[in-house]
């Protein structure tokens, strides 16, 4: 794994930690949603830059969907549904965190 890969995976891990911190209080107001969306963009951008062999080592993660979410937030922000974002966070953030942790450990 190149140093660049490690940094990108670290960026994803840090963005996940930031999201968890932002949503810990349970409120999903405008300030929180802005912070969460920014960190999802960071995750998607870092994921887009990962090498194919790195992505292949975590096939349970829908990497193209992670990148697509980043593109939606950045380019089609008017289509973002915060209920869908909450669902993604509740259902998929842990899995991404675990996969990134395993990739970093390897």
pLDDT digits (tens, 9 = 90+) for 9-42: 999 999 999 999 999 988 899 999 999 999 999 9
Q: What is the pLDDT of residues 55-73, one digit of tens each?
A: 999 999 999 999 999 999 9
Give how many domains the chain has, as a whole number.
1
User: Cα(81)–Cα(99) distance, rounded to whole angstroms?
Assistant: 26
**Cα torsion through 88, 90, 95, 100, rounded to 10:** 80
* Structural domain range at position 67: 3-105
User: Cα(14)–Cα(59) distance, rounded to whole angstroms?
Assistant: 21
Residue 17 has what pLDDT?
A: 98
> For the chain, what percent of residues have pLDDT higher than 90?
93
């Amino acid at each position: 794994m190149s140093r660049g890969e490690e940094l990108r995976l670290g960026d994803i891990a840090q963005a996940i930690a930031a999201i968890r911190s932002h949503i810990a209080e349970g409120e999903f107001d405008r300030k929180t949603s802005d912070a969460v969306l920014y960190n999802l963009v960071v995750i998607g951008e870092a994921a887009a830059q990962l090498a194919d062999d790195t992505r292949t080592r975590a096939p349970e993660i829908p990497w193209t969907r992670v990148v697509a979410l980043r593109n939606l937030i950045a380019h089609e922000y008017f289509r973002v549904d915060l209920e869908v974002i909450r669902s993604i966070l509740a259902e998929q953030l842990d899995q991404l965190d675990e996969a990134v942790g395993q990739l970093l450990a390897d």
